[in-house]
């Protein structure tokens, strides 16, 4: 990541003015907050504890951020007295610029979980979680890091065309078996890398889920080489859904929300939940935030069962509280990865392995994909 620094330094120059301007409006000394006593309980905040505090949530916009506002920000503002502002989309260079200049205007940042994991510790951009304020006890395993909680979770799942395959494929081995299941496979192919077909390649080889990491990437690419001629690549979630709805992909590895969207629109495709992957977005507090206690209080509130249920109902992503019971359509329930029938079949992924190997693996992937 040597080059990141240079890029970001340039952005700092460009941002200086913005930061200065925003800094004035958001200025003022940190407000002392009294969040009450006793252990934190997710989904609650002491009434009126944050009168006079202003917090800004930076997220990805669109339906997802609308869901966050309705499910968490609005009720949180009402109960705590805080003023909640929205910004976005999340840009990592901006987070870096704010932290470096000690002018942090994004108090809570929604980010990719791999990026978040790279930001934990002394050199990172995110603060360690204050677990006296944030109750993480109901979050599913493997999704909490030192400096972040999951913002939502979803499945990375194979969808297959039920018309194309009268005898249904059942897992990763079939995804890679082009003799038994001929046809095109759609996978992600853009300038980013993370859990996905790589874990799938090893699972197809029979590697046990708990022995996946560290990933044996030579073995992964040997497996992928055999599938190359059958692969087509999507660059956005919308495109992946389009490939299913148009029937271009006989099997597609997609985000569960997109699989849901395609089936809801009438595509005769079905998910293979067996050994599908759990992935998540992250929520963290940048270092040098003006009022970290208040920001963590927001995160604690965000993680409540009711808030998470509402978020799922609006966004079709799955909740990160074990007891969240979103009121969804029958089809929606079939794509809810917290549904026990589904969750017990899924395989967790390791964001820290990906964050440690991100640059090298992204280079290798882009070389392979163009080769």
Partner 1 sequence: MTETALIGGARQPKAPRASSGRAWLLLLPAYALLLGVFVYPVLESVWRSVSDPTLGLDNYVWALSNENNVGVILRTFGNGLLATAICLALAYPYAYLMTIVGARARVALVVIALIPFWTSLMIRTFAWIVLLQDNGVVNTLLGAIGVGPLELLRTNTGVIIGLSQVLMPFMVLPLYAVMSGIDLRLVTAARSLGARPSVAFLKVFVPLSMPGVIAGSLLVFIQALGFYVTPALLGSPADSMLAQSIYAQVSGLLQWGRGGALGVILLVVTVLLLAVIGLIARVSGRRGINVKVL
Binding site for partner 1 (CB under 8 A): 1-4, 6-7, 189-192, 232-233, 235, 246-248, 359, 362-363, 366-367, 369-371
Q: How far is the CB of 232 from partner 1 (least distance, A)?
A: 5
Q: Which residue, 162 or 359, is less far from partner 1 as judged by CB?
A: 359
Q: How far apart are CA 362 and CA 149, in angstroms?
A: 25
The residue (of 91 and 205) whose beta carbon lies closer to partner 1 is 91
Q: Rounded CA gap, 304 and 43, in Å? A: 3
Closest distance to partner 1 from the beta carbon of 253 (Å): 15
CB of 227 to partner 1, least distance (A): 13
d(CA 263, CA 316): 13
Smallest separation (angstroms) from partner 1 to the CB of 163? 12
**Of the two residues 95 and 295, which places its CB atom closer to partner 1 in the complex?**
95
Cβ-proximal residues to 28 (8 Å cutoff; 6+ apart), any chain = none
Q: Shortest approach of partner 1 to residue 205 CB, angstroms?
A: 24
Q: Backbone phi, then psi, for 226, in 5-degree steps?
A: -70, -20
**Residue 94 token pair:** 């901006």
Which residues, listed in sequence order, are joined to residue 186 by a DSSP beta bridge? 232, 252
Task: Please list the helix, strand and coil fractions of the chain in percent, rounded to the nearest 5, in that order.
Answer: 40, 15, 40
Cβ 192 to partner 1 shortest distance, Å: 6
Cα–Cα distance measured from residue 287 to residue 17, given in angstroms and rounded to the nearest whole number: 20
- Closest to partner 1 by CB, 130 vs 248, is 248
| Minimal distance, residue 3 CB to partner 1, in Å | 5
Q: Report the nearest approach of partner 1 to the CB of residue 276 (Å).
A: 24
Q: Which is nearer to partner 1, 190 or 331 (CB)?
A: 190
Contact criterion met (CB below 8 Å) for 277 and 199: yes
> Cβ closer to partner 1: 8 or 22?
8
Mark residue 310 as left, alpha or beta (left: phi above 0; alpha: psi -120 to 50; beta: remaining).
alpha
Nearer to partner 1, 6 or 167 (CB): 6
Peptide bond between residue 214 and the one before it cis (omega within 30 degrees of 0): yes
Closer by beta carbon to partner 1, 83 or else 265? 265
Residues 287-291: contacts with CB under 8 Å, at least 24 apart = 287/99, 287/104, 287/124, 287/125, 287/126, 287/127, 288/98, 288/99, 288/102, 288/104, 289/104, 289/107, 289/127, 290/26, 290/30, 290/104, 290/107, 291/30, 291/31, 291/33, 291/53, 291/55, 291/107
């Amino acid at each position: 990541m040597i080059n990141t620094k240079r890029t970001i330094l340039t952005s700092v120059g460009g941002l200086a003015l913005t930061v200065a301007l925003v800094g004035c409006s958001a200025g003022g000394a940190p407000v002392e907050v009294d969040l009450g006593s006793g252990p934190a309980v997710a989904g609650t905040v002491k009434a009126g504890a944050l009168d006079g505090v202003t917090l800004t949530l930076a997220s990805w916009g669109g339906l997802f951020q609308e869901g966050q506002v309705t499910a968490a920000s609005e009720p949180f503002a009402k109960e705590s007295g805080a003023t909640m502002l929205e910004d976005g989309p999340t840009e990592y260079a901006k987070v870096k610029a704010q932290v470096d200049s000690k002018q942090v205007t994004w108090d809570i940042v929604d980010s990719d979980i791999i990026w978040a994991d790279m930001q934990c510790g002394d050199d990172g951009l995110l603060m360690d979680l204050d677990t006296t304020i944030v109750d993480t006890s109901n979050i599913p395993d493997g999704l909490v890091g030192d400096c972040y909680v999951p913002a939502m979770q979803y499945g990375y799942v194979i969808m297959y065309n039920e018309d194309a395959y009268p005898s249904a494929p059942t897992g990763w081995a079939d995804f890679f078996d082009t003799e038994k299941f001929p046809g095109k496979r759609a996978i992600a192919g853009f300038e980013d890398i993370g859990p996905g077909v790589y874990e799938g390649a090893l699972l197809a080889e029979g590697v046990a889920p708990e022995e996946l990491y560290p990933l044996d990437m030579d073995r992964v690419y040997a497996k992928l080489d055999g599938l190359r001629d059958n692969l087509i690549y999507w660059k956005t979630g919308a495109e992946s859904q389009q490939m299913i709805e148009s029937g271009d992909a006989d099997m597609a590895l997609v985000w569960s929300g997109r699989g849901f969207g395609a089936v809801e629109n009438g595509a005769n495709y079905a998910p293979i939940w067996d050994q599908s992957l759990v992935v998540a977005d992250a929520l963290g507090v940048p270092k040098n935030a003006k009022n970290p206690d208040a920001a963590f209080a927001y995160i604690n509130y965000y993680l409540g069962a009711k808030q998470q249920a509402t978020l799922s109902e609006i966004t079709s992503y799955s909740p990160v509280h074990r007891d969240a019971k979103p009121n969804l359509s029958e089809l929606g329930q079939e794509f809810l990865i917290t549904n026990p029938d589904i969750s017990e079949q899924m395989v967790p992924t390791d964001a820290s392995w990906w964050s440690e190997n991100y640059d090298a693996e992204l280079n290798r992937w882009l070389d392979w994909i163009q080769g």
